[in-house]
Structures are given as C-alpha cells and as structure tokens.
Amino acid sequence: MALSTLSKTFDKITDVNSSKSSWNIKGKVIRLWVVKDFNNVIPFSVEMILMDYEGERVHCSIRKTLLYKFQNDVKEGGVYAFKNLDVATNGGSYKSARHPYKLNFQFGSKVQPLGSSNLSNISPFMFVPIAEIIGGNYDTDYLVDVIGMLICVGKERQYDRNGQIAKLNDIELEADGHKIQCTLFSSYVDELNNFIAYGETQNVVVAIMLGKVKTFQDKMHIQNCINCTKVFYNPISDDATSLRTRMLDNLRTPSHVALTQINAKPRADPLQEFLYSTPKNTIQGLLNCEEDAVYVVFGTIKHIVNNDNWYYTTCACNKSVYPDSGMFFYEKCNKHVKNVTPRFSIKVRVMDDTDSATLVIFDRDAAMLFNRSCAEVLRNRDMRVGHGVLPPEIQALVNSTYLFKVVMLALCAQSNYQAFPSDGHVVASTGDDLEIRPENIDNPNPAHEDHNADISD
C-alpha cells in the first residue's frame, strides 16, 4: 500500500529480534517467489528475501489471507520501505537466510516504493565455496548460494512424480579445484536447455541462488527447490569475472573450459542390483530415515488404502486430467482433451515386524505385477459392481509379501505417504532365499527431527 508519509526511522536487519512485534525495514527484494496451494487456485503464500544497505538478508512472507492486499505492491528487484512487519522464529530445514528470525506481513503493514538507491552496488549473493559444501560440515538446513564453472552436463531423463512424468538433468560445477554435482528438475531443465541451445559452451559460469544441499550415498550435491531457486548462466558480476579469471589462469586448466557430458556409470543387472547391491532396511528404519536414500524392504501388504482411488487419468504427455463436459480438462494447458490414458497409482499399507508404512505402486510397477495395463484392467472390470469394489488383480495384493525397492526422502518420514517403490522393482518372494529377514536387516537410523514440507521439484 502506498504511503504519503513514512517514518524516517528504520531498523537494521541485524537488529531484528523478538523484543518487539513491529519492525520497519528499508531494503531490496533480491528474490521473490510464489508458493502454490495445489488444492486451491489462490497461492499459499508469497515468499521473499530482503537485503538492507549493509548487505544483510532476512526472509519475509505474505500469507494467503493478505495476498489481495500486498501481492501487487512488491516486485523482485524493487527497493521498498516496509513498515509494521511482524517477527517470528526462522525455523525449518529450508531456511533461506542465516538470520535467526524472519518477518511477516500483517494487516497493518505498509509498503512504499523507493527511488534510486546504492543497493545495486551490493551483491545479492552470499556464495559458499564448493570446498566447504562437499567437506561435509555445511549445515544443510540452510539453502545455499554457489558459483562455479560449468564443466559437465548430464543426459536428460524422466521420473514419475506423484503420478506425473517430470524431467531432470544433472550439471557439474567446478571452482578452485573442487567439483559438485547439481540436479535440476522440470522448468529448470528447460532453462538449461535454452541456454545450451545458444551455443555458449565454453567458459560458462553458473551461479545458483537458494539451492538445497542434499546427501545421497555419502556424497553432497545440490538440487533446486521449486520456484525458490534461481539459476544464472554467465551472470555479469565481479564474482563471476573473478572465478573465470582464476580458472583460466590456473596452469592445470586449459585455455578454454569446454563443456562435456556426464558419463553414465555402467549399470549392473537390475535384478542383481535390486537383490544384492541395494541396502536393506526395515519399515521402522524408513520412518526414521535421516537422509535421501534407496532401500530394499521386505513386507506384507495388509490392505489397499483407498478402494475408489487406485488409478488416475493422463493426457498424451502423461499429465493428469479430470472429467469435464463429457471430455477431460488439462488444467496446465487450459484446454479439453479427448485422448486419455488411465494409469495405476495404488496406495498400499505395508507391514513388517517393526512398523507399517503407506507405499504407492505406480503404473509401471503395477503393470509388471499384473502383466496387463491399467486400461486392460478397467476394460475387464465388471461394471455392475458398485464403487469401492476393487478389481480382483488389485484385491489379490492383500496379504501378499513382496520385496520393495524404495526411494526414501528424509522429509517423507513426517508425511502421510512415507515411501515410494522405484525403478519398477517390486518382487514377490518369501525372502528366505535372499536373507531379507528382520534379523539380517541393518539397524534403523536415529530418529530425525521434524521438517517443513519439501519445496524441491
């Protein structure tokens, strides 16, 4: 909201604390993003990072009920005077600023755009050296800014994300003799492809703002967070110029840092890898999972979680659609489609001797188990039966024992659906011949602290 007069007294970001409930800040919005509410057209919130004239940063939020009042008043890159901002503890495992507190808009907050300022001379980045990140001592609860020379690009691939096909790719950055791999998802892959299409593949500097540091198989890597992360290719900045100069002046570095492709490691036989190379765990171990990992668990399906919701419908590009006006509506493209395909998404409750968890068996896995597609199962279903009656193929899963290869995200231990079978590996077995028995399974990891919802794509 525009102000005719605003107090000339402003607080430093470093001084923000819980001693008072109202703070006045003058600063630049160096990053702004929208957090979508997937169950509602109205976003969940607008999040931003404020930087003041001393280069200090603090997180700030506009909650859903105040979006109508402030959403159009604040733009990324703008400099503003903010009045009457509330304060809260900066918690969770996706902290975008090092400040112990964060700010929130309240109904009585005021915003006034400011004209020219000297904030353009202050870098919006707070780069962390790659060496510090891969050293293992970086606090992964904080999002990270990192810069490096782009030396490798992987091969784009797809994965099943909540019943929808999404894409990902890896890049590798190097700085001062240290390397780190970064995984990009969805729209970030499109940005990478668009940049490479221009043909600039030598001496490319990449800066990543607000990436998430993850641990996978004892190695540190970075991945984007949905909407929050921003990737800059060949940014114009002193940091980028300095890095490029250092890299090219290094005698061990060729005169041009050319882009190469990340070579895929030779893959072992999938069944052998599944049965003998993947770490074993119990369901209790999954629930206490402390980091992203892949495990094999041995359990019995006790029941189907939702008898009316065991498949979903997709268009030709594998995106979910829903019935409307005698056709199907594809919300992302805002159009109706006629050619659709049903796909399995079967939520099952699995139990072992230690605990129980809900797993989701997606289309490829289920089609392999039943030796028929979802469309075939639907065609053969007796249409005379009412809602809630499962096809016999799915009902037969109950009380069956399987080995599940599970991709586990640490944050999922706090969610309703804790784990997801991966790579089409769901194998029926008594487990005796494979020695996948509770007494032979590794002890579960220590209980993990509560996490905020994941914002990675």
Where would I find the H helices in 151-216? Answer: 187-197
Pair of tokens at residue 9: 């007294």
The confidence score (pLDDT) of residue 294 equals 81
Identify the residue whose tokens are 């940091």: 239
Task: Using the structure block, give the residue that is written with the tokens 């895929």.
Answer: 264
Alpha-carbon distances, residue 455 vs 14, 59, 220, 227, 355 (angstroms): 27, 15, 18, 8, 27
Please report, in angstroms and rounded to a whole number, the separation of the first and last CA atoms in the chain.
Answer: 33
Counting every residue written for the chain, the total comes to: 457
CA distance 43 to 65: 10
- State how far the alpha carbon of 168 is from the alpha carbons of 15, 184, 229, 364, in Å: 41, 5, 15, 19
With a CB cutoff of 8 Å and minimum separation 6, the contacts of 414 are 450, 451
Task: Indicate the class that CATH gives domain 270-440.
Answer: mainly beta
Q: Do domains 130-261 and 270-440 have the same CATH topology?
A: yes
CATH superfamily ID and name for 130-261: Nucleic acid-binding proteins (2.40.50.140)
CATH 3.40.50.150 fits 13-121, yes or no: no
87 beta partners:
103
Backbone angles phi, psi at 275, to 5 degrees: -80, -35
240 by DSSP, 3-state: which?
A: helix
Instruction: Give the DSSP H/E element, type plus range, for residue 79.
Output: strand 79-89
| Residue 413, helix vs strand vs coil | helix
Provide the phi-psi class of 280: left if phi over 0, else alpha when psi is between -120 and 50, else beta: beta
pLDDT per residue as tens, the chain (457 positions): 444 444 458 999 999 999 998 999 999 999 999 998 877 778 889 999 999 999 999 999 999 999 999 999 999 999 999 999 999 999 888 999 999 999 999 999 999 999 767 787 889 999 999 999 998 889 999 999 999 999 999 988 887 766 677 889 999 999 998 999 999 998 999 999 999 888 777 889 999 999 999 887 678 899 999 889 999 999 999 999 999 888 887 745 444 555 666 655 555 566 666 667 788 888 888 877 767 778 888 899 999 988 888 888 887 666 677 777 677 776 666 677 777 888 888 999 999 989 888 888 888 888 888 888 998 998 887 665 566 788 999 999 999 998 888 876 644 444 333 334 433 344 443 333 333 333 333 332 322 233 233 334 4
Listed residue (98, 175, 170) closest to 130, CA to CA:
175
Tell me what pLDDT residue 118 has: 75
* Nearest one of 315, 370, 383 to 344, comparing CA atoms: 370
- Nearest 5°: CA angle at 153, between 186 and 77? 55
As a whole number of angstroms, the distance between CA 274 and CA 272 comes to 5
Tokens 């859903």 sit at which residue? 64
Closest CA to 184 of 233, 136, 135: 233
Spatial separation of the C-alpha atoms in residues 95 and 101, rounded to whole Å: 10
CA torsion sign for 246, 250, 254, 260 is negative
Q: How far apart are CA 404 and CA 273, in angstroms?
A: 13
Are the beta carbons of 225 and 183 closer than 8 angstroms?
no
- Each domain of the chain, given as residue ranges in start order, spans 13-121, 130-261, 270-440
Indicate yes or no: pTM above 0.85: no
Residue 276 CA from chain centroid, whole number: 29
Q: What is the pLDDT of residue 312?
A: 86
374: nearest Cα among 405, 346, 407, 334: 346
- Position 405, amino acid: K
